């Protein structure tokens, strides 16, 4: 994995900012619903999807014609 020279992998700042925004949004949704835990659980679930989508977009074989994907890989 490429490194920026600081020991911190490149491209992770955007993911961290997105995660913080999603958790903040989850807190707001939880407060609007009257249950903070529900908002945090929803934010955590969306953050997992955000991580999968973000890492997928950074991959080398983006698209439908991936000859190495046999359907068993996540």
Cα(40)–Cα(34) distance, integer angstroms: 12
Q: Is the pLDDT of residue 60 over 70?
A: no
Cα(25)–Cα(22) distance, integer angstroms: 5
**HSE (CB half, 13 Å, CA atoms) of 35?**
4
- What are 21-34's pLDDT values in tens digits? 888 888 898 889 88
DSSP 8-state code for residue 67: T
End-to-end CA distance of the chain: 19
- What are 2-52's pLDDT values in tens digits? 555 566 666 677 778 888 888 888 889 888 988 888 888 888 888 888 878
Cα(47)–Cα(39) distance, integer angstroms: 12
pTM of the model: 0.58
DSSP annotation string for 14-26? HHHHHHHHHHHHH
What are the extents of the domains in the chain? 12-57
């Amino acid at each position: 994995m490429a490194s920026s020279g600081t020991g911190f992998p490149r491209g992770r700042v955007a993911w961290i900012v997105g995660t913080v925004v999603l958790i903040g949004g989850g807190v707001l949704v939880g407060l609007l619903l009257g249950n903070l835990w529900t908002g945090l659980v929803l934010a955590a679930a969306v953050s997992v999807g955000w991580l999968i989508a973000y890492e997928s977009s950074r991959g080398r074989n983006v698209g439908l014609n991936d000859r190495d994907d046999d359907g068993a890989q996540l």
